[in-house]
């Protein structure tokens, strides 16, 4: 089975559906999606083999990077160009305590 992400005109993922590997057209359900549902469909991989991440609702498809990028959790976080994940401007403390990111103060607050 294959997975397809429908994107809007701003490249934001609207939904992810499963295609049929037994499709006689050999396109794993792509043409059926287009013919029956319309829209723009981009193939995504459940195990992240293509396009860096498995697409999810709200992800953005970046055509230049050919990657699905998750929503940015905070304005201050920076995209890691190797992993295509968002990282805080200050690394989370590595100890046995739990922390939440405080966007207003740009700090990790102990929970």
The count of other CB atoms within 10 Å of the CB of residue 41 is 20
**Could you tell me if 81 and 64 lie in one domain?**
no
Q: What confidence score (pLDDT) does residue 56 get?
A: 97
**Could you tell me if 65 and 77 lie in one domain?**
no
Domain of residue 106 covers 73-111
Measured CA to CA, the distance from residue 27 to residue 94 in angstroms comes to 46
Q: What confidence score (pLDDT) does residue 47 get?
A: 86
Residues 19, 50, 9, 25, CA torsion sign: negative
What are the tens digits of pLDDT across the range 70-104?
Answer: 999 999 999 999 999 999 999 999 999 999 999 99
DSSP-assigned letters across all residues of 77-106: -EE-TTT--EE-SSPPP-SSS-EEEETTTT
What domain count does the chain have?
A: 2
**Could you tell me if 83 and 66 lie in one domain?**
no
**Could you tell me if 88 and 100 lie in one domain?**
yes
**Could you tell me if 42 and 88 lie in one domain?**
no
Measured CA to CA, the distance from residue 77 to residue 88 in angstroms comes to 5
């Amino acid at each position: 089975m294959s997975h397809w992400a429908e994107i809007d005109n701003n490249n934001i993922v609207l939904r992810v559906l499963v295609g049929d590997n037994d499709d006689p057209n050999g396109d794993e359900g792509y043409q059926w999606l287009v013919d029956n549902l319309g829209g723009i469909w981009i193939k995504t991989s459940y195990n992240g083999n293509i396009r860096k991440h498995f697409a999810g609702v709200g992800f953005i498809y970046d055509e230049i990077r050919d990657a699905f990028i998750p929503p940015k959790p905070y304005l201050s976080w920076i995209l890691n160009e190797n992993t295509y994940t968002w990282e805080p401007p200050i690394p989370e403390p590595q100890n046995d305590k739990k922390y939440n990111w405080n966007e207003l103060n740009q700090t990790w607050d102990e929970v």
